[in-house]
Chains A and B, each alone.
Chain A
Amino acid sequence: MRLPRPADHLTTTQQESTDMPVPDIFRQGMARGWKTHDGSALEQDLTLEADVAIIGSGAGGGTTAEILSAAGFKVLIIEEGPLRTSDDFAPLRENQSYPALYQEGLGRMSKNGAITILQGRAVGGTTTVNWTSSFRTPAPTLKHWADVHGVTGHDVDSMAPWFAKMEERLGVAKWAIPANPNNQVIADGCESLGWKHDIIPRNVKGCWNLGYCGLGCPTNAKQSMLVTTIPATLDNNGELLYLARVNRLLIDGSRVTGLECVGMDERCVAPNGRKITVRAKHYVLSGGGINSPAVLLRSNAPDPHQLAGKRTFLHITNFSAARFEQQLNPFSGAPQSVYSDHFQWHDGAAGEMSYKIEVAPMQPMFASTVLADVGQRAAETMASLPNINFMLALGRDGFHEQSSIGSVELRSDGTPVLDYQMTDYSWDGIRRAWLSMAEIQFAAGAKQVWTVHADAPWTSSWKEAQATINNLPLELYRARLGSAHVMGGCAMSEDASMGVTDSLGRHHQLENLSIHDGSLFPTSIGANPQLSIYGLTAKLATQLAERLKA
């Protein structure tokens, strides 16, 4: 196997590519005899057995699977989405990746349709399609959980070795190559304003700096679960079942006795009629925010305080586009490499809603939805795509009692939907975030800024932008809102009236069920959440392995 090419060879990528293809390490593993089951291709119903059955193959499920299988347990990973690997990603076509790799075929949104929710659904979960930003859980977040939410044992010092372990495992390091011009806008603007900004750590090894992380990494440089922990699990006698939805946990008193699963069609749209029954000694729920609580709700799992699905967070996200004289080519280069936390902790953990500022990569299909408009104005905006900088602010929801939060409900077919309610408190944060972003963009030399809102014009100065933003109606559908970080819904807390699990992810009512994913978070994180999930679930899985051996 050849070594990945470093990013500074990017200019010669095309010439080299014909004679030096990227090895598809997952398909190679399957050829070596990995045990995998395709739920869309079953010819009859199936029963599978394992020591531990893990529901979900994203950050929490993948991390847990590797640790438990290395400890000698027979692990079965169950993933609802399809198996797609580097060869599948190589065309780098948005219209192939989005329908295949995202929840509900990229159709996931809040119940009122006002918030688009980007969440992965494939082997590797969201880690297969995320933009690689890797931050430790901020210290004020961990302290807030201990102070307010009854979480014990996860202070900064006790978490540090777990983050270090996963950073090492997944190659997390500050991006050493110069930021692409889209990201550089944050650095330039903040520098000029005297605001804090820094380089983003990324989980990549030998990254080509292409910028297409959201479509699945074609070079296996991104250290997603697809190329790290899941292969390690399969090398350790683990098994993978994909295109299979866990319909419900079978429960007898205080124990889970099995899983009732259904095979999905190959598009992952509808069940195909095949049933898969899973029997294990222990079960780990790692479906992530929205899907993990949905499994509990569908199963009528004991929930004396009606907590499953409640307090779900999104890092409610708003946007600001800027036009520059020079070309930025925001569709090329590492998607996220610079951030600003200048307004993240300025008012304390539970003060006014604060936000992390980053940018988004702008391949045209994605760009056309976030910049959506009608007719000539839309045409002109998209025609200037090479000159556009696209900034976003991740609203830190769930820390203040007036914060917007969501609640997971089941639709008539048993699938989940998130009812997310905005509040005046959160709208205030949205407005301030628009102001901060426009100020950074003009300070970085933008010619024009568009606050992404139906009533905002392109403005030509910071003063004009300020006046515009201060008068924008704070209304759903007019303000474009999104989310790529679903968190919470199965909160951990030592107090069973506040949490679905204890601080170790042990379900308060079901003795052989653990939850290992971002749904455990009692608030949002205040940073892109993947490393928070890796670090926490590495710790929980290691302790689970010790308990299971005892």
Chain B
Amino acid sequence: MSEQTNNNIALAVSRRGLLKFSLMGSAMLATAGVTASLTGCSSSMPQDGYKVLRKEDVAFLSATIPVVMQGTFAADKVAESTLITLKSFDHSLAHFSPEVLKLVQQLFDVLGMSITRGPLTGVWGGWENASPAEVANFLERWKNSAISLLNMGYGSLTQLIPMAWYGNPEAWGHCGYPGPPTI
């Protein structure tokens, strides 16, 4: 990551007005994504035990899943439920078309690299250390952002995460679903 890009992003973020232009936001995100791939800021190898998700992706999702699913996961099974959701999320991504997967990975790049994560999510210290309140704040910010790419990111995350959970029998008790009939 060059010093120049770093400064540009910092500048853009310090003048929040600039972020109103979604075009500029998009360009910034694209720059961050491309830079990430070119400089190896984000690893490309899946984490052990996953088909697609990388180390940084797992860290991000491990922090975000319990917040999106807060109130859904049983209080004494948050870690276990988060892991089930992560595995199913990974399975879904492994079946997406390459171009759709690329979009999701660009989103994860932006969320994973400190250079973009801090300014765009308000989480400055890494996902491992993010509090649920910080994560909730980030989600709310993306939901209401003037940058359409962030709205899209919010929409994707808040659909893909519940979807990954509710495909599993462990999820069905909460929603009163008796499970499929036996043929």
Interface residues of A (CB under 8 A from B): 13-14, 17, 21-22, 90-95, 99-100, 103-109, 112-114, 116, 210, 212, 218-219, 267, 269-270, 331, 363-365, 367-369, 372-376, 378-380, 382-386, 411-413, 415, 417, 454, 476-478
Chain A nearest Cβ from B70, distance in angstroms:
5
- Selected from A90, A331, A375, the residue in CB contact (under 8 A) with B177 is A331
**Is A13 in contact with B148, judged by CB distance below 8 angstroms?**
no
Q: Is B35 an interface residue (CB 8 A)?
A: no
> Measured between alpha carbons, how far is A477 from B148 in the docked complex, in Å?
8
Complex Cα distance, B104 from A107, in Å, reads 10
Cβ B97 vs Cβ A477 within 8 A: no
The answer to whether B100 and A364 touch across the interface, beta carbons within 8 angstroms, is no
Is the beta-carbon distance between A113 and B183 smaller than 8 angstroms?
no
Q: Are B181's CB and A210's CB within 8 A?
A: yes
Quote the shortest CB–CB distance from B128 to chain A (angstroms): 21
Q: Which residues of B contact A476 (CB under 8 A)?
A: 148, 151
Docked pose: A249 CA to B98 CA in angstroms = 23
Complex Cα distance, B172 from A93, in Å, reads 12
The 3 closest A-B CB pairs, nearest first, are A95-B167, A379-B71, A105-B95
B67–chain A nearest beta-carbon distance, Å? 7
Q: Which of B52-97 contact A (CB under 8 A)?
A: 67-72, 88, 91-92, 94-97
Q: Are A413 and B99 neighbours in the complex by a CB distance under 8 Å?
A: yes
Q: Which of A212, A269, A382, A477 contacts B151 (CB 8 A)?
A: A477
Bound: A378/B177 CA distance, A: 16
* Contacts A/B (CB < 8 Å), 14 sampled: A17-B182, A94-B167, A103-B97, A104-B96, A106-B96, A108-B100, A364-B166, A365-B163, A372-B162, A375-B67, A378-B68, A382-B166, A417-B99, A477-B151
B68 touches A374 (CB 8 A): yes
The distance in angstroms between the C-alpha atoms of A99 and B182, with both chains bound, is 21
Contact with A along B147-183 (1 / 0, CB 8 A): 0100110111011001101111001101111001111
Q: Report A275 CB to chain B, min CB distance, Å.
A: 19
A92/B180 in contact, CB under 8 A = yes
Q: Is the CB of B71 within 8 A of A378?
A: yes
Q: Point out the residues of chain B lying under 8 angstroms from A378, CB to CB.
A: 68-69, 71-72, 162
Q: Given A368-B175, A378-B72, 4 more contacts at CB 8 Å?
A: A210-B181, A270-B98, A378-B162, A382-B72
What CA separation (Å) do A378 and B157 show in the bound complex?
Answer: 14
Q: How far is the CB of B180 from chain A (nearest CB, A)?
A: 3
- Judged by DSSP, the binding face of B is helix
In the complex formed, the residue of B with least CB distance to A331 is B177
Q: Are A385 and B177 in contact (CB under 8 A)?
A: yes
By beta carbon, the residue of chain A nearest B67 is A375
- What B residues does A411 contact at CB under 8 A? 99
Instruction: Determine the distance from Cα of A267 to Cα of B171 in the docked complex, in whole angstroms.
Output: 25
A7 vs B151: C-alpha distance when bound (angstroms): 44
Closest to A373 in B: B158
- A185 vs chain B, min Cβ distance (A): 18
Q: Is the CB of B136 closer than 8 A to any CB of chain A?
A: yes
Establish whether residues B166 and A372, one from each chain, have CB atoms under 8 Å apart when the complex forms.
no
- Write the nearest CB–CB distance from A8 to chain B, whole angstroms: 15
By a CB distance below 8 angstroms, the chain A residues around B172 are 364
Minimum CB distance partner of B92 in chain A: A99
B103 within 8 A of A: yes
Task: Check if A369 sits within 8 Å of B163, measured CB to CB.
Answer: yes
Chain A residues in 8 Å Cβ range of B167: 93-95, 364-365
In the assembled complex, B139 has its CB within 8 A of some CB on chain A: yes
What's the Cα separation between A94 and B175 when bound, in Å? 15
Look across to chain A and name the residue whose beta carbon is closest to the beta carbon of B71: A379
* Shortest Cβ distance from residue A442 to the other chain B in the assembled complex, whole angstroms: 23
Which residues from A are CB-within-8-Å of B72?
A: 378-379, 382
Q: Is B141 an interface residue (CB 8 A)?
A: no
Which residues in B have their C-beta under 8 angstroms from that of A386? 175-177
A477 adjacent to B180 (CB under 8 Å): no
Question: Chain B's nearest CB lies how many Å from the CB of A235?
Answer: 25
